[in-house]
Amino acid sequence: MKKVTIVGGCGHVGLPLGLALAKVAHDVTLLDINPKAVEMVNAGKVPFIEEGAEEIFPSVLNKNFRATTSPDSLKTSDVIIFVTGTPVDEHHNPKVHDVIKVMRSYADKINPKALIVLRSTVYPGVMDVLSDVLSETIPDIKVAFCPERIVQGKGIEEIFHLPQIISGNSPAAEKMAEELFSTIAPKIIRLAPKEAEVAKLMANAWRYLEFAISNQFYMMTESQGLDFYKIYDALREDYPRAKHFTRPGLAAGPCLFKDTMQLSAFHKSNFFLGQSAMLVNEGLPVFLADQLEAKMGDLKGKNIAILGMTFKANNDDIRESLAFKLRKVLEIKRAHVLASDPYLPAPEFTPLKEALEKADGVIVGVPHNEYLDLKITKPYVDCWGIWRKRK
């Protein structure tokens, strides 16, 4: 078994991976700059919703699993996994320098014989750049890009059930990556580094495009006075080629938009489908507010409840949630917004009962399970279709 340090390990990518590796007996240290998150993990508490985490904690915590703010474990680790991805700037261009800066800050603390694994999304070519940068201080450095492809909140389950893509800057790096991930993944798929980097971006861009198609159809039909979900149900009924036609909704989160823009930058800003998808998906909050206004008249001074402020259902993660953009749009219309979410704390967020009692109108931001059986008697907008009569 390997000694593994995960840099940025207490977050949504690092923690599920760390628990999965510890479950199969690897010795895992989560290195994180957030002392509060480190304290929570060492106390056996999960900082966010992650299914299966609480079941693994008792068997590994303070045995072969711990969290720390100290980089000491980097000197003795066999594998060092970085979960730092490539962010984009205000112009939607990848900030490769940020990733290089993080790696350089740890370079003199790394075991020169260790395998360095990049886990989060990076811009195509970044692995090769980092290999060159690290080789300045560590000759023959072994670097691998092994992307995560997990669904938020179900990471542990998916790590054990999804194939793992691996790539490396050398055969030795690929071999070490396969040795590690074959202990938790059912299948290993090898790609060249740039192929693996593009594959990760394409996967997220594909999902973003799926939302854009449905969102465009939703806005198209509803703006013409048609019932989108009546059409949607009809075209999918007993028709296999429409089986995977996704529902519309606020396409948010820390990856889909960002990675679509990275793929666009990779193709010299000629990714017209991706750019169009961005215009559609980012425009949906405005359309939802306009829909409610069409039903209620001027929203000035009216109480409007947004049900669900996280970026996906049944989770507590608000990163890049478009529900917050929706709130701003409603505020510009001079409405009083009651932002409600059962996974987020009061008093910043209004309890559901209070929000429904005070609301003059309602918009579904995220389709949490807690909303599925609600009987709404006030004007509402539900692009997710959770309150429609389902077949």
Query: Can you tell me the distance from the alpha carbon of 208 to that of 255, in angstroms, rounded to the nearest whole number?
Result: 9
Strand ranges (E), 134-182: 142-145, 164-168
Nearest to 257 by CA among 234, 277, 231: 277
State yes or no: pLDDT of 390 exceeds 50.
no
Query: Can you tell me the distance from the alpha carbon of 313 to that of 367, in angstroms, rounded to the nearest whole number?
Result: 5
Q: What percent of the chain has pLDDT over 90?
A: 82
Query: Can you tell me the distance from the alpha carbon of 211 to that of 205, in angstroms, rounded to the nearest whole number?
Result: 10
Whole-number pLDDT of residue 106: 85
Architecture of domain 3-191: 3-Layer(aba) Sandwich (3.40)
Whole-number pLDDT of residue 133: 87
DSSP state of 73: G
User: Is 208-381 CATH 3.40.50.720?
Assistant: yes
Whole-number pLDDT of residue 389: 61
Query: Can you tell me the distance from the alpha carbon of 109 to that of 15, in angstroms, rounded to the nearest whole number?
Result: 22
pLDDT digits (tens, 9 = 90+) for 233-282: 999 999 999 989 999 999 988 889 999 999 999 999 999 999 999 999 99
Whole-number pLDDT of residue 196: 97
Q: Do domains 3-191 and 208-381 have the same CATH topology?
A: yes
Mean pLDDT, rounded, for 54-79: 95
Report for 48-52, 77-81, 149-153: range of highest mean pLDDT: 77-81
Domain map of the chain by residue range? 3-191, 208-381
State yes or no: pLDDT of 90 exceeds 80.
no
